[in-house]
């Protein structure tokens, strides 16, 4: 597979790099960022954390705003951040910020015109890790994390593929998308009217029914304007209690939905993942 290097920046004796490649899964050119800790420069294979961003974001939001590189360098963890959707001329879009480009929701779309490109679930689970593991000094020890729409994606992907991930975490995830405005709009557009198909991408429903577990951590800011209507952390907690899922849910007074919140607790998330990846 051919990839094109876009940028390189040294950071905490590791390297942040951006690449583009032609995605067969998404039928368009995609961009991703990767941070490689210092050990990777010596050819040592390191575990990797996949980060999924939220609505309107690209690969750049997390890498530039979260302040994750210092701790990732210390722990010897690579971080991979894909874009949040297919993009480009000919890729279906919508006037709203919460559908179309920048809002792939990490599902495999089945409805036209979205099904030609919008297969972010398959891209994150299969194509991207295959590329990363073949082109960079990383192992098949994987963790996954994300924010908001990306938190939804991380939880769903980990629970549907427990054999592939050692741990999962999320900041302010859309926990119950079948039951909130963002989720209903996206799932109806991408998957159609059959709500049984929606359930395959609902973290609360998956967690309530789970019999195989991936250690999970979720952090939620209590001053998040989206918490009550869109995120519903209480539903996720109830689902974990119903199935005995190993979920650590932390709620923080005064914190909102922004990257100020993520930067405040990203170290705890990285250390949570490192503990599982190093087992």
The edge-to-edge listing of strands for the beta sheet with 28-36 is: 3-11, 14-23, 28-36, 78-82, 46-52, 138-147, 167-171, 216-221, 247-252
What are the residues facing 81 on neighbouring strands? 33
Catalytic residue among 117, 224, 269, 273: 224
Residue 147 designated active-site: no
Identify the active-site residue in 16, 117, 257, 269. Answer: 257
Distance of alpha carbon 144 from alpha carbon 119, whole angstroms: 18
Catalytic, 257? Answer: yes
Buried b or exposed e, range 160-188, using 16+ CB within 10 angstroms = bbeeebbbbbbbbbbbbbebbebbebbbe
Clarify whether 148 is annotated catalytic: yes
The two structure tokens encoding residue 134: 């073949």
Catalytic, out of 85, 145, 148, 169: 148
Rounded Cα–Cα distance for residues 275 and 106 (Å): 26
Give the separation between CA 236 and CA 242, rounded to whole angstroms.
10
Distances from the Cα of 259 to the Cα of 11, 77, 202, 244, angstroms: 19, 21, 24, 30
Catalytic amino acids? 148, 224, 257
């Amino acid at each position: 597979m051919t990839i094109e290097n876009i940028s390189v920046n040294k950071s905490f004796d590791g390297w942040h790099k951006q690449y583009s490649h032609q995605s067969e899964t998404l039928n368009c050119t995609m961009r991703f960022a990767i941070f490689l800790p210092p050990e990777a420069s010596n050819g040592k294979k390191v575990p990797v954390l996949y980060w999924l961003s939220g609505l309107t974001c690209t690969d750049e939001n997390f890498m530039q705003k979260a302040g994750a590189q210092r701790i990732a360098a210390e722990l010897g963890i690579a971080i991979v951040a894909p874009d949040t959707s297919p993009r480009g001329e000919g890729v279906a879009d919508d006037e709203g910020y919460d559908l179309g480009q920048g809002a792939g929701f990490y599902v495999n779309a089945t409805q036209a015109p979205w099904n030609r490109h919008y297969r972010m679930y398959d891209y994150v689970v299969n194509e991207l890790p295959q590329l990363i593991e073949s082109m960079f000094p990383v192992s098949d020890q994987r963790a996954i994390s994300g924010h908001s729409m990306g938190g939804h994606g991380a939880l769903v992907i980990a629970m549907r593929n427990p054999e592939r991930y050692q741990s999962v975490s999320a900041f302010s995830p859309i926990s119950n998308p079948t039951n909130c405005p963002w989720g209903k709009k996206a799932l109806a557009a991408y998957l159609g009217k059959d709500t049984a198909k929606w359930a395959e991408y609902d973290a609360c429903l998956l967690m309530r029914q789970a019999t195989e577990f991936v250690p999970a951590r979720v952090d939620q800011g209590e001053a998040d304007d989206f918490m009550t209507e869109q995120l519903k952390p209480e539903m996720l907690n109830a689902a974990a209690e119903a199935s005995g899922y190993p979920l650590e849910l932390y709620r923080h007074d005064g914190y909102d939905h922004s990257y100020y919140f993520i930067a405040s607790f990203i170290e705890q998330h990285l250390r949570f993942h490192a503990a599982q990846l190093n087992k």
